[in-house]
Structure 1
Amino acid sequence: MAPQPDGPAVNAAQPPPPTLGQRLLRTVLLPLAITWIAGAAVSFSVAQYFTQQTFDRSLLDDASLLAAHVRMVDGRLRLELSPAEIRAVLYDQTETVYFSVHAADGTVVAGEPLLPMGAEGARPFHFDDVPFDEKILRAVRLWEDVPAPFEVTVAQTTSSRNAALRQLMFYSLLPQLGLLVLLALWLRRSIGRDVRPLGTLRHALEDRGSQDLSPVPTEASTRDVQSLAAAINALLQRLGRSIRAQKEFAGNVAHELRTPLAGIRALAEYGLGRQDPAVWRQQLEAIAASEVRATALVDRLLAVALAAEAESALELKPVALDAAVREAVLRYLRRADAAGVDLGALGIDARVWVEAEPTLLEGILNNLIDNALRYGGGGGSPPAITVAVERRDGEVVLSVQDNGPGVPHEQQLALAERGAQGEAGQLLGEGVGLGLALVAQYARLMRARMRLRTADSSGGFVCEIAFPVVPAPAA
């Protein structure tokens, strides 16, 4: 069996659709052309009517003049005009004129006997097209009753009136046709100029690489093209945010999982170095708990990434900040003791409420304490880290302060950007910028503010998170 052509081949054989400029030009010019044709038909009818009226009035005047010279002589109707007078009355430079005078009984009184007599009921006059000598003549029939009933017929050829009608239509419709052509040329140029930015926009998108999500430059000549360009640029901006959120999510996962994975590895190494099955069970339980914590962390990070991508606020609720600080300090206390760092907390004796998301708040505490333990030592003797909670100027301020080498003021803002390196990264250690960038992002999602400063007395580094004050929730 011969192979059958598939769908795309059939579609490829179809002619391409018209361009927007061609479609607009066709949409505008087609009604104009139809309107012009209808106007030409109306103009022709009007011109024909008034031209006919003019020539017919002249025929009626000639018939009335002939009828005025019909007399009753010896009981018979006679036309008392000589041939020369008749030629003078019916003289026409371009047309051939015929006439006849018929009595009521059909007797020819004067003129062409071949001109037929009209109906008696056509009074007082009637215009008609009559055949004569293989020609069609325009005729007027005038009926008179004095001195006796008779009919005067005057007919003439129609070449003059047809020529006048053609000239009238020529000089009337030709300028209109010329104006229509000029209008078509002007519309083609104007429509082409107005749709040219669309072609420029198409070429800009065709020549762009897949990684280039910068705004598309356009020279919009109309509001519609400007709106289309703005919509495309807004789409590119949303795609850029989505891609950045995906990259940030991958970086967040890699950064946040480092601590639980290191803890799992340490627990596994400790268990492998012991021979007691009870120790193995204890370490396996700790590994399972760490794995559950790591899984929950990944799920929370995914929720954060989706919320950041959609630019939607998370569901915030009252959280006891003092309890969260206490749990975080206890969680890192063993690591701090092993590193010889004095880790303490201030301002957690009384209940302090903030509006936050527990997962993000825990991520802020983990990142700040982890950064302080990694990069905050070495400046003071002995190394010390203080996590404090205090009320200040209508805000609840969470601060983590170390007595390390600190960071110059002009470089502190760079640490809040993802992947901060350079002198700031060399001072505190590679990777610190990622943790602080996460803290800044988490704070922004909870409508809090992050501030970086140098400690007044010890010269260490301080990171503050300022939350709005919220009343205590009902019991």
Structure 2
Amino acid sequence: MWRAKVSLQRQLLLWLLIPQIVLWLAGAALYYNVATHYANAVTDNSLLQTGRAIARQVQPLDDGLMIDFPRAAQLLLEEGPDDKLFYTVSTVPGGMILGNRRLPAPPGQPAADHPVFYNTTQDRESIRVLSLFYRLTPDRWLHVQVGKSLQPRNRISREILLATGVPLGLLIIAMSVLVWWGVSRGLRPLDKLKRGVEHRVPQDLTPLETESLPVELQSLTQALNQLLSTTNESVSRQRRFIADAAHQLRTPLAGLKSQTELAMRETTPEGLRDRLNLVHASATRSIHLVNQLLTLARSEPGAQAGMPGMKVDLAKLIRDLTAESVPRALAAGMDLGCDSALAEATIDGNPALLRELFINLVENAIKYIPRGSNITVRLFEQGPDYVVEVEDDGNGISDEQKPRVFERFYRVNQNDGNGCGLGMAIVKEIAERHGGRIELADAQPHGLIARVSLPRQRPGE
């Protein structure tokens, strides 16, 4: 479904200008109504004064009415072409006794000395009419009607509206221009940020500059910088992994190729079998290296989002791993035991990675200490953590080498071709991904202790 693109600038302009225009129209309508009201008040007051003046010219007599309305007064009322007055004086009952036009009767019932104003149309002209009744005798009324065209009043209202509306309209236009300029200027940093992102090459993951940006954009820029930093770390890990894999696989694959070439040249069954044994050993080391590299890749932070997390019982995991490793320890002439005072030790984590962590520690101990040595796996509580220790009574390693064993492809004995130098790096990555840490300490009287501390509750949960 197609959706129109939303413009922030357009929305701001609409939300700022539309209320102003609505308020301007409402103000203009209100001002026009107020002007019309006061114009009507002026017109009505003029009609009322004229009507009462005319009514005073008619006086009752015993045998009739006396009308004192000079011709000069009539001409004065009727001489204005634009402001001409229409009037009618009549008796009820009776008929018209004075006037220049018969005006329509007012709506409603008459009341003595109570003026009634109403609008009407006569000869296609809108007029404003005053109707006023006076009681002459108990059964006779004097009805005075005075009318005036609405054109002068409407003209005055329009002039007042133009006198106020035009300046208000110009003010609205000026304000709209200022609002547009202000919004455009206010959004300029956002446009600058957009151009800075658009003009970047895909390989440029350096942080965006935030110091000159408004406060409202700094949080957005910081979030983008955090995303760029995370992406940069992920890309760096991928490059490092590819470089490490290519570097480490080159040697065993080259050796495997050499062994197969030599095997192809062998002419005796015994020599061929020896060469094939070497090929098998080289392939086994290559498989182990690939598995270690894949485990290291899975344990890195960028791969954790897709890894399942669940409740893991460390006590059961340690007991099972120790039992599985006993045959190999016996074959290597070593004594492997488990010492756990906890029946259950549950944490949140990834069971496959935790299993890989402790397998590496136990296998490293079996692989690198002399025959006849002892290995003990312990589990206990210490403060907010569960602590797993793998202790051996072998030769140990020096203090200078302890930090370096966590580096990738570093081996304490470089002449030992059995390892690939990734085991302890994997252990460190997995421990840190679970909010824990690993430490190496000297055992007494000799040997090494690998101590892994894992929080019973993950940070931030």
Q: Does TM-score exceed 0.5, indicating one fold? A: yes
Is this contact kept in 2: 1:62–1:89, CA < 8 A? no
Residue among 446, 468, 471 paired with 2:453: 468
Is this contact kept in 1: 2:128–2:149, CA < 8 A? yes
The one-letter amino acid paired with 1:275 is P
The one-letter amino acid paired with 1:467 is V
Following superposition of structure 1 onto structure 2, how do residues 390-405 of structure 1 map, counting pairs within 5 Å? 395-398=387-390
Following superposition of structure 1 onto structure 2, how do residues 234-273 of structure 1 map, counting pairs within 5 Å? 234-251=226-243, 253-254=245-246, 257=249, 261=253, 264=256, 268=260, 273=266
Is this contact kept in 1: 2:78–2:85, CA < 8 A? yes
Q: Displacement, 1:201?
A: 1.8
Provide the rounded CA distance (Å) in 1 between the counterparts of 2:36 and 2:231: 69
2:105 aligned partner: 119
1:337 aligned partner: none
Whether 1:100 and 2:88 are equivalent positions in the alignment is yes
Q: Displacement, 1:25?
A: 0.1
Residue among 139, 145, 153 paired with 2:129: 139
Whether 1:155 and 2:147 are equivalent positions in the alignment is yes
Q: Displacement, 1:96?
A: 3.3
Following superposition of structure 1 onto structure 2, how do residues 378-397 of structure 1 map, counting pairs within 5 Å? 395-397=387-389
Provide the rounded CA distance (Å) in 2 between the counterparts of 1:194 and 1:387: 72
1:187 aligned partner: 179
In 2 relative to 1, CA 359–177 (structure 1 residues): closer, same or farther, beyond 3 Å?
A: same
Provide the rounded CA distance (Å) in 1 between the counterparts of 2:105 and 2:274: 133
Provide the rounded CA distance (Å) in 1 between the counterparts of 2:276 and 2:444: 45
Provide the rounded CA distance (Å) in 2 between the counterparts of 1:28 and 1:325: 74
Following superposition of structure 1 onto structure 2, how do residues 26-425 of structure 1 map, counting pairs within 5 Å? 26-73=14-61, 75-83=63-71, 95-104=83-92, 107-112=95-100, 115-119=101-105, 123-124=110-111, 125-131=116-122, 136-147=126-137, 148-158=140-150, 160-174=152-166, 176-218=168-210, 221=214, 223=216, 225-251=217-243, 253-254=245-246, 257=249, 261=253, 264=256, 268=260, 273=266, 275-276=269-270, 279=273, 283=277, 286=280, 290=284, 293=288, 296-297=291-292, 300-301=295-296, 303-305=298-300, 308-310=303-305, 317=314, 318-319=317-318, 348-352=335-339, 357-363=354-360, 395-398=387-390
In 2 relative to 1, CA 64–444 (structure 1 residues): closer, same or farther, beyond 3 Å?
A: same
In 2 relative to 1, CA 369–32 (structure 1 residues): closer, same or farther, beyond 3 Å?
A: farther
Is this contact kept in 1: 2:13–2:179, CA < 8 A? yes
Provide the rounded CA distance (Å) in 2 between the counterparts of 1:24 and 1:433: 60
Is this contact kept in 2: 1:245–1:308, CA < 8 A? no
The one-letter amino acid paired with 1:466 is R
Provide the rounded CA distance (Å) in 2 between the counterparts of 1:325 and 1:249: 29
The one-letter amino acid paired with 1:201 is L
Provide the rounded CA distance (Å) in 2 between the counterparts of 1:388 and 1:135: 117
Provide the rounded CA distance (Å) in 2 between the counterparts of 1:417 and 1:296: 17
Is this contact kept in 2: 1:99–1:154, CA < 8 A? yes
Q: Displacement, 1:62?
A: 1.6
The one-letter amino acid paired with 1:276 is E
| 2:207 match: secondary structure | coil
In 2 relative to 1, CA 438–327 (structure 1 residues): closer, same or farther, beyond 3 Å?
A: farther
Provide the rounded CA distance (Å) in 2 between the counterparts of 1:289 and 1:330: 25
Per-residue deviation, residues 340-386 of structure 1 (Å, max 9, x unmatched): xxxx97xx54325799734344556778999x99xxxxxxxxx99x9
Per-residue deviation, residues 218-270 of structure 1 (Å, max 9, x unmatched): 455464x4554344334323322332332343245446656865775686578
Structure 1: unaligned runs, 5 residues or longer: 1-10, 334-343, 374-382, 421-425, 427-431, 471-475
Q: Displacement, 1:188?
A: 2.6
Is this contact kept in 1: 2:338–2:376, CA < 8 A? no
The one-letter amino acid paired with 2:146 is V
In 2 relative to 1, CA 319–397 (structure 1 residues): closer, same or farther, beyond 3 Å?
A: closer
Q: Displacement, 1:63?
A: 0.9
Residue among 429, 433, 437 paired with 1:441: 429
Is this contact kept in 2: 1:106–1:117, CA < 8 A? no
In 2 relative to 1, CA 251–269 (structure 1 residues): closer, same or farther, beyond 3 Å?
A: same
Tell me which moved more, 242-251 or 293-302: 293-302
Is this contact kept in 1: 2:365–2:375, CA < 8 A? no
Provide the rounded CA distance (Å) in 2 between the counterparts of 1:299 and 1:98: 107
The one-letter amino acid paired with 1:110 is L
Q: Displacement, 1:26?
A: 2.1
Count of equivalent residues: 420
Provide the rounded CA distance (Å) in 1 between the counterparts of 2:430 and 2:251: 18
Q: Displacement, 1:138?
A: 3.0
Is this contact kept in 2: 1:143–1:152, CA < 8 A? yes
In 2 relative to 1, CA 349–110 (structure 1 residues): closer, same or farther, beyond 3 Å?
A: closer
Is this contact kept in 2: 1:322–1:352, CA < 8 A? no
Sequence identity (%): 23
Is this contact kept in 2: 1:100–1:108, CA < 8 A? yes
| 1:246 match: secondary structure | helix
Q: Displacement, 1:67?
A: 1.6
Tell me which moved more, 320-329 or 17-26: 320-329
| 1:54 match: secondary structure | helix
